[in-house]
Amino acid sequence: MERRRYALRLLYDGRQFRGFQRQPGLPTVQEAVEAGLARLGVDAALEVAARTDAGVSALDQVVSFATRADLDLEDLRRAVNEAAPEGLLCLAVARTGPSFHARASAVSRRYVYLVGTAPPEPLAPWCWILPDARAFPDLSIATALPSGQGWPRLDAAAMRAALAFAVGVHDFTGFARPGEQRGTVRTVTRADVIEPAVEVGDFVAVVLEGRGFLRAMVRNLVGTAVAAGLGLAPPTVIRDLLAARGRYRGVRAPGWGLTLASVSHPSGMLLWR
């Protein structure tokens, strides 16, 4: 019997989950989506465009699966949302072609990371708030002062200069999670640091975009850029780590500041409903 393929477009608050991939006894996005599919009698392996770690949020995650069932799209979206816990929403659904695969068919992924000493209150739960003595013990003396007084302001220009070395095709072994088994060459098409257009707080948004990223690669790049922005490393630090291709021993930014902002597929491949 013919197997039909479907895609889901998801939004989720990573603080509510221990990552995307199912883990026994822990709340995960995969488990929540599979609970929705089970309401329709579907037991299918999920394919995800970007496997997010614990605490990482998504505004535009894409998941695909194959089943012999001929599903009504509105029933599919409703079933996932009715089974979803707080913090997860199925935004749209689509019936896809036989070759579609959420991960393999994606042409670009964009991540946004928020970090600073005083983000606007509505953004604070999804921001890496400095000071952070765990990550930067050399500056721990500043944490003893009220409201981080004495903690250096992030130098966005230094962060931007550091991240510029990541753009292009590189072997990112030096930014991979230990034990990474896959090929470690990746292409980064954009690496930017955006400051608020108006004075709404002391924070920046790091934007990284590329075809695909290694596990922990984005958080390791951000942690290194923040070290440069605090004056703890030169702007050439990312260039030097790429050249060394050794095990990453720098600062890994925490998951809760990271959001998968968008996943792009070839035009016309997905007709969302």
Residue 10 to residue 58: CA distance in whole angstroms: 7
Beta strands in the chain (DSSP E): 4-12, 47-48, 57-67, 88-96, 108-118, 128-129, 168-171, 185-194, 202-210, 258-264
Residue 252 to residue 84: CA distance in whole angstroms: 30
How far is CA 143 from each of CA 66, 137, 154, rounded to the nearest angstrom?
A: 51, 10, 15
Q: Are 117 and 131 in contact (CB under 8 A)?
A: yes
For the question of residue 155 being annotated catalytic, the response is: no
Catalytic-labelled residue, pool 13, 43, 53, 60 = 53
SS3 209: strand
Q: In this structure, which amino acid lies at residue 171?
A: D
Reference 84, options 135, 143, 35, 146; nearest CA is 35
Just list the catalytic residues. 53
